[in-house]
């Protein structure tokens, strides 16, 4: 059972060990080789589960984390999570191997590998989590690691822009998803995903059903770059190419698809779910493939193609969800087959797109450019890269003998079935679905051909490039060749993948579908509609490719500044402006004003609450007799307080302030609170020392120039605060609202073995608070250090605006 | 004007050890008597502050070659690790354990995981306080 926890936590563990490895320079240079075993070990570990999962077994483990809040580390292994986990680790192996050669050793390798491990661990966390909240935490962690990786070359303006954009959009979706999770929790009363699936009927009857769907899909759509949230993905291409291949094509962007797949048993069958996913998916498919053609940067082209392929997979899940619709009695398995196709295409997409990204990375690495207009005739110089690119692109275009052909045909089958659907009286709309899919596939064909023929054939464009055009080191070629081999192998033996990996995954989306009900993948269906569609795509696509200049006229209809990017940019600029306007109104830079805000807020809110809850109680019964010492101390503190106000020099003020602190310590002594007295004494000492240090920086001591001899406003505020505080102190003492919890600590000796009750509260009963306080203290310390030592003007010359 | 710091420096040399002893005493007595990680850490920090006031930063740096910001990070790490340690034994996060042990010279001693937690607290406090004071004074 431990192996799954190992799978999730090993990357995090190794990431923290990387920092320790850094002491030696040599290790730093070859860091990648130390990281490489992590995905390999995990991949082997997970392969060990394949056989058991194929026979229908699922593994679920519970590890109680915070029992009081029912937070558990629940893991759940079934076909679906295993499929994703194998992709994450498998592609992870190749990507890390590729990165070893791709990144030069003088770059910040430690950052790179730590981030990538962080990502791998959190991605595995997403797919293995069976608890909504832990899933959410891992979900946001992938957003954060993606942000860090996109901003890897943070000196570039584009990187910073892209990183911020991806973070804003995906975290926005993440918040929506969190809201959906909380709604699910209030409706079903559980965070356990499997139990939520069991309680699906509760959700369906609830009035929040549609809001839950909308919010959940917002999370999935932003993460999986669905229209109109796709705008972050092309900008994310500022990341190093291995990262683009890994996060922004093979794994992270598929988290949204995972979410949809995971929740299909809950929401599937609802028409809102079907329409939202299918329509958005098809829209993304069409728009992504259309926009891809107009790109000249190869990486941007691949980014839009990823967007469109994700849309394809998404729409298949939408179609697949129909099989759970109560009215689909005739042939529900036609629609489960759509999910089968979706998962199949998901794997295929990872293989062919991964290999394409890596080839383009090679071109970029060798030539220093990836602009289609500057490339050409590379076939003679880089024959291996050409072969890989050919395999990848043809598979993406949906041509045999590559795996993309099989899943594309299955996609057509699914959309054709939906078109025949006549149970919702939406025939007019559903007929459009195959047409949209077909047009998008033509575009896909065109841009796939652009990658192969424009970059590799034609005249060699002689431009000054960074390097000589030749094949890179073998290590850099192995990963793309491996993926290309898979592209071909999966075409010839699709059912090995189908039987062992995909069918268990389908059965976790549809628990009551057995393996036999899913058709095997076949290569030849006869001359049916699907094949004719493919033939049509090849013919029209070739014509369109020949005359692709004509398309430019269409592009004029969609000018750059009329895009969702502009909407995003304007929104960011406007909210920035608004925030600035509001903030600058009250952040005056005067400490005096800030104190007024703090004190007024405290006094008004607390006293209002006190009276609203009728908690005020000022009776003075049963208190300790006030001795002469108490009087003396209290009077001396009052005198000291008044003296500060009229002090002439700053030193006097600081020393008197220190005196008040010591006097309060004396109060603690009289009240027999030695721990508090000790703490107060030392804090007072250290603060006074700190004050003396800061002396140097403080401006000349000037008594505030008062317009009137007496500031009424300040007096009112101070009286208000004083009264509130006294009221609160007395009311707390009389505990009218809550019963005293001190009985809870009476057995401290037996429970914790400690006799000092203050200490047992700090370190045992309320250890969680102490832990967080320690972390806050630490963050404050780091904050001071960075503010003073690394102020913005130092090192700013490295940044490019 | 050159300030004569001989008296302050000579006294500090002795007093620092007294403060350090007090810090250790307070730290270990914390579970059963007044004291504990936070107070122990603060006293420890005040010893360093005294040294910094009496001598200049370079001397203290040379004498105590500790990177205090890393020290505070280690402290925060220990605090969390002490919590996770309980999880590894199948207990809830941050559950503390204790047992009694008979040692020669010391008699019956109570050993508790709270001490590990407290070490973390103390190190963080020392690290943060000295880091703040050092970075402010170095900026002069």
pLDDT in tens, B35-55: 888 889 999 998 988 888 888
Q: List CB contacts of A596: < 8 A, sequence separation 6 or more.
A: A717
Tokens of A501: 């990996």
pLDDT at A780 over 80: yes
Interface test with A, best of B38, B109, B120, B131 (most A CBs within 10 A): B38
Mean pLDDT for A714-729 is 88
Please name the member of B92, B120, B131 whose beta carbon is closest to the beta carbon of A784: B131
pLDDT value of residue A688: 81
Check B131 against A679: CB less than 8 A apart. no
Mean pLDDT for A517-523 is 74
Q: What is the dihedral of CA A655, A661, A665, A670, to 10 degrees?
A: 90
Check B34 against A785: CB less than 8 A apart. no
pLDDT 10s digits, A408-422: 888 888 888 887 766
pLDDT at A70 over 80: no
From chain A, the residues in CB contact with B129 under 8 A are: 686, 781
pLDDT 10s digits, A478-510: 999 999 999 999 888 888 888 888 888 888 888
Interface test with A, best of B16, B36, B85, B98 (most A CBs within 10 A): B36
pLDDT 10s digits, A424-442: 656 667 778 888 899 999 9
Tokens of A284: 């993304």
Q: Is the dihedral of CA A412, A417, A418, A420 positive or negative?
A: positive
Mean pLDDT for A742-752 is 77
Q: List CB contacts of A533: < 8 A, sequence separation 6 or more.
A: A412, A434, A438, A441
Check A675 against B39: CB less than 8 A apart. yes
For B84, which residue in chain A has the nearest alpha carbon? Answer: A65
Rounded distance between C-alpha atoms, residue A610 and residue A768, angstroms:
28
Confidence of residue A466 (pLDDT cuts 50, 70, 90): very low
Confidence of residue A347 (pLDDT cuts 50, 70, 90): very high
Tokens of B103: 């040692």
Rounded distance between C-alpha atoms, residue A788 and residue B140, angstroms:
11
pLDDT value of residue B140: 57
Confidence of residue A200 (pLDDT cuts 50, 70, 90): confident
pLDDT at A229 over 80: yes
pLDDT value of residue A554: 73
pLDDT value of residue A427: 63
Rounded distance between C-alpha atoms, residue A465 and residue A370, angstroms:
10
From chain B, the residues in CB contact with A696 under 8 A are: 140
pLDDT 10s digits, A316-344: 998 888 877 776 655 666 778 888 889 99
pLDDT value of residue A120: 92
If you search the block for the tokens 């004291």, which residue do you land on? B35
Query: What phi-psi label fits residue A100: left (phi over 0), alpha (psi between -120 and 50 degrees) or beta?
Result: alpha
Residue A650 in contact with residue A701, Cβ under 8 Å? yes
Radius of gyration for the alpha carbons in chain A, expressed in angstroms and rounded: 32
Check B94 against A771: CB less than 8 A apart. yes
What is the pTM (predicted TM-score) of this model? Answer: 0.81
Please name the member of B110, B117, B139 whose beta carbon is closest to the beta carbon of A788: B139
DSSP string, A654-719: HHHHHHHHHHHHHHHHHTT-HHHHHHHHHHHHHHHHHHHHHGGGSPPP-----SSSS-HHHHHHHH
How many angstroms from the chain centroid is the CA of residue A679?
41
The fraction of chain A above a pLDDT of 70, given in percent, is 90
pLDDT value of residue B123: 93
Q: What is the mean pLDDT of chain B?
A: 84
Confidence of residue A633 (pLDDT cuts 50, 70, 90): very high
Residue among A372, A363, A359 at smallest CA distance from A466: A363
Tokens of A150: 């996109």
From chain B, the residues in CB contact with A694 under 8 A are: 136
Q: List CB contacts of B74: < 8 A, sequence separation 6 or more.
A: B123, B127
Instruction: Using DSSP, state whether A323 is helix, strand or coil.
Output: helix
Distance from CA of B15 to the nearest CA of A (A): 15
Tokens of A376: 């050409």
Using CB atoms within 10 Å of the CB of residue A2, give its burial: 0 to 12 exposed, 13 to 18 middle, 19+ buried: exposed
Check B69 against A686: CB less than 8 A apart. no
Please name the member of A67, A693, A753 whose beta carbon is closest to the beta carbon of B133: A693
Q: Is the dihedral of CA A572, A573, A577, A580 positive or negative?
A: positive
pLDDT value of residue B120: 92
Check B49 against A686: CB less than 8 A apart. yes
pLDDT value of residue A467: 55
Distance from CA of A173 to the nearest CA of B (A): 30
Buried b or exposed e, range A45-73, using 16+ CB within 10 angstroms? bbeebbeebbeeebbbbeeebeeeeebbb
Q: What is the mean pLDDT of chain A?
A: 84
Check B80 against A771: CB less than 8 A apart. yes
pLDDT 10s digits, A544-561: 888 877 777 777 776 666
Check A689 against B83: CB less than 8 A apart. no
């Amino acid at each position: 059972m431990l192996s799954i926890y190992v799978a999730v936590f090993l990357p995090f563990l190794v990431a923290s060990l990387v920092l320790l490895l850094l002491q030696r320079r040599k290790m730093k240079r070859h860091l990648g080789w130390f990281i490489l075993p992590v995905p390999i070990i995990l991949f082997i570990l997970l392969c060990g589960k394949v056989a058991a999962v194929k026979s229908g077994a699922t593994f679920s483990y519970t590890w109680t984390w915070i029992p009081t809040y029912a937070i558990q580390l629940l893991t759940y292994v079934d076909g679906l999570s295993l499929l994703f986990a194998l992709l994450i680790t498998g592609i992870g192996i190749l990507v890390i191997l590729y990165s070893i050669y791709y990144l030069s050793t003088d770059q910040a390798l430690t950052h790179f590998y730590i981030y990538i491990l962080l990502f791998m661990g959190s991605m595995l966390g997403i797919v293995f989590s069976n608890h909504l909240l832990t899933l959410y935490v891992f979900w946001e962690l992938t957003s954060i690691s993606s942000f860090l990786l996109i901003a890897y070359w943070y000196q570039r303006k584009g990187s910073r822009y892209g990183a911020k954009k991806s973070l804003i959009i995906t975290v926005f979706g993440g918040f929506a998803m969190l809201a959906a999770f909380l709604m699910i929790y209030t409706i079903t009363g559980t965070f356990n995903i499997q139990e939520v699936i069991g309680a699906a009927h509760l959700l369906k009857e609830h009035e929040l059903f549609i809001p839950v769907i909308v919010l959940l899909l917002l999370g999935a759509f932003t993460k999986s770059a669905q229209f109109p949230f796709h705008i972050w993905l092309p900008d994310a291409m500022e990341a190093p190419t291995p990262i683009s291949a890994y996060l922004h094509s093979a794994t992270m962007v598929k988290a949204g698809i995972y979410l949809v797949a995971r929740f299909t048993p809950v929401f599937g069958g609802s028409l809102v779910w079907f329409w939202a996913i299918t329509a958005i998916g098809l829209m993304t498919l069409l728009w992504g493939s259309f926009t891809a053609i107009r790109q000249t940067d190869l990486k941007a082209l691949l980014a839009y193609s990823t967007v469109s392929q994700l849309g394809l997979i998404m729409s298949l899940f939408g179609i697949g969800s129909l099989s759970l619709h109560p009215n689909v009695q005739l042939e529900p398995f036609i629609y489960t087959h759509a999910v089968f196709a979706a998962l199949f295409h998901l794997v295929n997409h990872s293989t062919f797109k991964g290999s394409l990204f890596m080839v383009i990375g090679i071109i970029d690495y060798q030539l220093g450019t990836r602009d289609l207009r500057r490339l050409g005739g590379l076939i003679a110089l880089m024959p291996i890269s050409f072969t890989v690119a050919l395999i990848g692109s043809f598979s993406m275009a949906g041509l045999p003998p590559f795996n993309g052909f099989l899943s594309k045909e299955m996609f057509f089958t699914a959309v054709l079935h939906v078109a025949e659907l006549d149970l919702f009286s939406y025939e007019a709309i559903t007929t459009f679905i195959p047409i949209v899919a077909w047009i998008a596939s033509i575009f896909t064909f065109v841009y796939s051909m652009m990658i192969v023929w424009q970059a590799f054939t034609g005249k060699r464009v002689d431009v000054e490039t960074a390097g000589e055009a030749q094949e890179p080191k073998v290590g850099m070629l192995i990963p793309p060749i491996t993926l290309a081999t898979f592209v071909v192998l999966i075409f010839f033996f699709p059912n090995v993948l189908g039987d062992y990996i995909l069918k268990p995954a389908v059965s976790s989306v549809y628990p009551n579908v057995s393996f036999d009900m899913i058709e095997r993948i076949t290569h030849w269906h006869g001359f049916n509609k699907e094949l004719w569609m493919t033939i049509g795509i090849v013919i029209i696509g070739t014509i369109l490719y020949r005359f692709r200049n004509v398309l430019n006229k269409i592009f004029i209809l969609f000018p750059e500044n009329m895009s969702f990017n502009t909407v995003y940019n304007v929104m960011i600029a406007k909210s920035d402006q608004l925030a600035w306007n509001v903030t600058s109104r009250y952040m005056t830079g005067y400490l005096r004003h800030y104190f007024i805000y703090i004190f007024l807020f405290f006094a008004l809110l607390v006293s209002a609450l006190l009276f609203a809850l009728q908690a005020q109680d000022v009776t003075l019964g049963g208190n300790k007799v006030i001795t002469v010492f108490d009087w003396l101390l209290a009077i001396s503190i009052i005198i000291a307080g008044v003296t500060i106000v009229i002090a002439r020099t700053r030193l006097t003020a600081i020393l008197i302030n220190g005196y008040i602190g010591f006097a309060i310590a004396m109060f603690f002594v009289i009240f027999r609170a030695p721990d508090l007295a000790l703490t107060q004494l030392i804090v007072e000492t250290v603060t006074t020392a700190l004050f003396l240090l800061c002396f140097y920086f403080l401006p000349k001591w000037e008594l505030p120039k008062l317009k009137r001899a007496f500031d009424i406003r300040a007096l009112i505020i101070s009286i208000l605060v004083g009264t509130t505080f006294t009221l609160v102190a007395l009311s707390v003492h009389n505990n009218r609202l809550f019963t005293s919890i001190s009985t809870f600590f009476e057995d401290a000796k037996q429970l914790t073995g400690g006799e000092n009750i203050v200490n047992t509260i700090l370190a045992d009963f309320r250890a969680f608070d102490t832990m967080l306080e320690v972390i806050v203290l630490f963050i404050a310390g780091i904050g001071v250090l960075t503010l003073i030592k690394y102020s913005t003007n130092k090192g700013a010359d490295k940044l490019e605006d | 004007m050159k300030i004569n710091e001989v008296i302050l420096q000579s006294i500090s040399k002795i007093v620092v050890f007294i403060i350090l002893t007090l810090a250790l005493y307070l730290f270990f007595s914390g579970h059963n008597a007044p004291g504990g990680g936070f107070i122990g850490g603060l006293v420890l920090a005040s010893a360093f502050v005294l040294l910094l006031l009496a001598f200049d930063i370079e001397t203290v740096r040379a004498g105590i070659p500790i990177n205090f910001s890393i020290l505070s990070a280690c402290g925060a790490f220990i605090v969390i690790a002490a919590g996770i340690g309980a999880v590894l034994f199948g207990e809830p996060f941050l559950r503390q354990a204790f047992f009694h042990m008979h040692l020669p010279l010391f008699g019956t001693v109570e050993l508790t995981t709270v001490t590990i937690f407290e070490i973390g607290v103390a190190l963080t406090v020392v690290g943060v306080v000295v880091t703040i004071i050092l970075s402010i004074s170095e900026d002069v």
